[in-house]
Chain A
């Protein structure tokens, strides 16, 4: 019992525990930083890829360079009147689409 109390109050080996803990924390922190940088660069890569695809799709839709698909737009009046107009749809990647009147 006396021995145990002495061990508890002893300061010997304390600097070693401190150093080891510090090393663990530094390694953990560095890993955290590295992981975040890796994840961020992946995010950026994906964003860049998305942005490139977006720019291409936008140009195809806006400048009508995509393959046209014939369709219609319906004009619905406040009194319920309906008018169908034949148009060409230009879709960049299936999500960005514009249309223009045939021959217009």
Chain B
């Protein structure tokens, strides 16, 4: 038999064809079975993964709501600065109190106490810094909110305050942004970007002064008038001397927190 004839015969032979078809059927069954099982297990593991992710979401959203609540109930911040000034040496007079100042500016000081409250301390630190230097953004603060429930994750919060801006109505305000992200339960130094949230709040700044009043401590300066008058009793030209009480002006910087808005980070 010629080789070409043998090949043709083999091609046209029906021996073993049923076995081949059976094997094909087996392959199809195997494929369908594996696809079915893969799809089912994927659905199952998705449910488990969803639960883990939801834990992170609940941890972050609870922390965000807590912060929102704290901000809404935060007492107003108030700082004061006293400026002592006097009129001696002005308008045709010579200042006699040697080495005395013209204007003495005090430091901005808090009128209340932030106590041990971490968030309030940071908010007040920023508010004080911005009362002193409205054009310089304070340094960011970081703190962690740790729940005592084991099923929840700790949340790391980065708090950033901007500079003071003036709107069209002349109102001064600055924005505070809190970025919240869950702490990785396996590595506490890392945070997970899943379900990161941003909380922003608007802080309105108002400044006022009492217009100045006489120094309550009764401090004064001495002056001598430059103009002289003739004293007929003493028979000489004399200048007028006198005292002027210092003027104490109190400036107040008040910060109120409001406009808290929660957004989910993309």
Whether A73 touches B148, Cβ cut-off 8 Å, given contacts A29-B29, A96-B55, is yes
Count of chain A to chain B residue pairs whose CB atoms are closer than 8 Å in the complex = 158
Residues on B with C-beta less than 8 A from A37 are: 33, 36
A25 near B44: Cβ-Cβ < 8 Å: no
> Which residue of chain A has the shortest Cβ distance to B26 in the bound complex?
A29
Most buried by A among B43, B62, B70: B62
Does residue B152 face the partner (Cβ distance < 8 Å to A)? yes
Residue among A35, A62, A75, A76 with max Cβ neighbours from chain B (10 Å): A75
Is A78 in contact with B141, judged by CB distance below 8 angstroms?
A: yes
Contact (Cβ within 8 A) B19 A18 = yes
Among the stretches B105-113, B117-125, B233-241, the one at the interface with A is B117-125
Instruction: For the complex formed, measure the closest distance between the CB of B135 and the CB atoms of chain A, giving whole angstroms.
Output: 25
Contact A81 B147 (CB under 8 A): no
Chain A CB within 10 A, most for which of B15, B18, B26, B58: B58
CA distance A77 to B146 in the complex (A): 11
Contacting chain A: which of B45-53, B213-221, B244-252?
A: B45-53
In contact, B121 and A77 (Cβ under 8 angstroms): yes
Q: Could you mark each residue 20-36 of chain B with 1 if its beta carbon is under 8 Å from any beta carbon of chain A, else 0?
A: 01110110111011101
Q: B265 to chain A: closest CB distance in Å?
A: 19
Interface status of B66 (Cβ within 8 A of chain A): yes
Whether A29 lies near B30 (C-beta < 8 A) is yes
Rounded to whole angstroms, the CA-CA distance of A77 and B151 in the bound complex is 22
Interface size, chain A (Cβ < 8 Å): 52
Q: Mark A28-50, 1 if CB is under 8 A from B, else 0.
A: 11101101110111011011001
Residue of B32, B44, B51, B152 touching A54 (CB-CB under 8 A): B51
Residue among A33, A71, A74, A95 making CB contact with B55, cutoff 8 Å: A95
Rounded to whole angstroms, the CA-CA distance of A51 and B122 in the bound complex is 42
Interface residue from A39, A43, A75, A81 paired with B43 (Cβ < 8 Å): A43
Contact (Cβ within 8 A) B51 A71: no
* B103 close to A (CB within 8 Å): no
The answer to whether B146 and A73 have CB atoms under 8 Å apart is yes
Assess the B18–A22 pair: CB atoms within 8 A. yes
Smallest CB–CB gap between B200 and chain A, Å? 19
Q: Can you list, as one digit per residue, whether each of B65-87 has a CB less than 8 Å from chain A (1) or not (0)?
A: 11001100000000000000000
Say whether, besides A73-B146, A75-B118, A44 and B29 are in contact (CB < 8 Å): no
In contact, A89 and B118 (Cβ under 8 angstroms)? no
The chain B residue with its CB closest to the CB of A25 is: B22
Contact across chains for A25 and B58 when beta carbons are under 8 A apart? no
Q: Residues on B close to A: CB < 8 A?
A: 15-16, 18-19, 21-23, 25-26, 28-30, 32-34, 36-37, 39-41, 43-44, 46-48, 50-51, 54-55, 58, 61-63, 65-66, 69-70, 116-119, 121-122, 141-149, 151-152
Q: A33-B32, A35-B33, A98-B61 are in contact. List 7 more A-B contacts (CB 8 A).
A: A18-B16, A29-B25, A33-B33, A44-B43, A50-B44, A83-B116, A87-B66
Supply 26 A–B pairs (Cβ within 8 Å), ascending by A: A18-B16, A22-B21, A25-B23, A26-B22, A32-B30, A35-B33, A36-B33, A37-B33, A39-B40, A40-B37, A44-B40, A44-B44, A46-B44, A54-B51, A71-B148, A71-B149, A75-B146, A78-B142, A78-B143, A96-B51, A97-B149, A97-B151, A97-B152, A98-B58, A98-B62, A99-B149
